[in-house]
Amino acid sequence: MTGTPVDRTTDGVGHTRTPSQGPRFGSPPHAPGSHPSAKVRRIDERARLTHAAVLAERARIARELHDSVSQTLYAITLGAFRAGGLLDQNDVTELQRIIDDLLQLANAGQSELRALLTDIRSDRLTSGGLTAALENLTADARTRNNVDIRLSLADEPDMPAATKEALVMIVREALHNTVRHSAACRVDIVLERDGEHLMLLITDDGRGFDPARPRPGHFGLQSMRERATAVGGTFALISAVGLGTQLRVSIPCAGGH
C-alpha cells in the first residue's frame, strides 16, 4: 500500500510532522530579499553616520576658512586698495604704515591656513589618548594665541574613541571661539569624574555675551552641542556680558563606574 512519504524529523517536542504541516512555531519564512538582514542594516547605519560626519567636517572647514583666512584676505584687499589711493597723495608715512599692516596680515593668514591644514591632516587622538590630545591641543593654542590656558585633567577615561574625539573637538571649537570673540586673558579647562559621568568644564574670563540673543553666522555653539549629543552627552552654557563664559559637557562613563 502506497501513501504520502512522511518526513520523520522532529518538531522539537518529540512529535513527527509531514512537510505539509510546516513549522509548528514561529513566523513563516520570508522570501529571499524581502527584508534586509541585520548586517545590511548595520552597514547602512554606519554609512549614514560616516556621511553625516563628512558633511559636518566640511561645514567646520568652511566656517574656519570664512572666520580666518577669508576675512584676513578681505582685510588685505581693503588695505591694498587704500594704499593705491595714497600713492596719488604722496603720503609716504601713511603708505608705509599700511604696507607694514599688510605684511602682518599676510603672515597671519599664512599661519591660520597652516594651522587649519595641520588640523585637517593630523589624527587628534594620539597614542596617549584623550588627556594627551588635550594637552597637545592647548599647548598649541597657548603658543599661537598668547592666552593663559590652564588644564586640570582626570585620569584617562574608559570611553570609545569616538567619544574622546568629540571631546577634543569641543575643546578645540571652544578655544577657537574664545580667541576670536571673547578677548579672554585666561581659560580654565577641567576634565573630572562626577559619579557616573565625565564632566568637561571650559571657563574663560572674557567679555561674555547674552546667550538669549540671536547670533547669526556663528555656528560654533551649535556644533559643540551637536557633538556632545551625538555621543550621548549634554551641553550647557552659562554666560553674561562682562562676566565671561562657561561651557559644561557631561558624558556618561562606560559601565557607569
- pLDDT at residue 97 in the model: 85
User: Are 159 and 106 in the same domain?
Assistant: no
- pLDDT at residue 11 in the model: 46
Strand partners, 239: 245
Average pLDDT on 163-182 reads: 88
Which residue in 97, 198, 205, 76 sits closest to 148, CA to CA? Answer: 205
197-204/148-153 β-pairing: unpaired
- pLDDT at residue 124 in the model: 59
- Exposed / middle / buried, residue 69 (Cβ in 10 Å: 0-12, 13-18, 19+): middle
User: Are 177 and 93 in the same domain?
Assistant: no
Q: Does 19 have pLDDT greater than 50?
A: no
pTM value is: 0.58
User: Are 157 and 180 in the same domain?
Assistant: yes
Give the residue, 124 or 212, on which the prediction is more confident: 212
Which range of 27-31, 77-81, 92-96, 248-252 scores highest in mean pLDDT? It is 248-252
User: Are 80 and 132 in the same domain?
Assistant: no
Q: How many domains does the chain have?
A: 2
Average pLDDT on 177-199 reads: 91
- Among the listed ranges 20-24, 94-98, 129-133, 201-205, which one has the minimum average pLDDT value? 20-24
Residue 17 falls inside a structural domain: no
Residue 7 falls inside a structural domain: no
Give the residue, 96 or 3, on which the prediction is more confident: 96
Domain limits at 63? 39-119
Give the residue, 111 or 229, on which the prediction is more confident: 229
User: Are 202 and 94 in the same domain?
Assistant: no
Domain boundary among 74, 95, 119: 119
- pLDDT at residue 6 in the model: 45
- pLDDT at residue 254 in the model: 66
The domain that holds 140 is classified in CATH as 3.30.565.10
User: Are 107 and 191 in the same domain?
Assistant: no
- pLDDT at residue 59 in the model: 72
* Half-sphere exposure at residue 189, Cβ-oriented, CA atoms within 13 angstroms: 23
Q: Does 127 have pLDDT greater than 70?
A: no
User: Are 176 and 59 in the same domain?
Assistant: no
Contacts of 123 (CB under 8 A, 6+ apart): none
Average pLDDT on 99-114 reads: 79
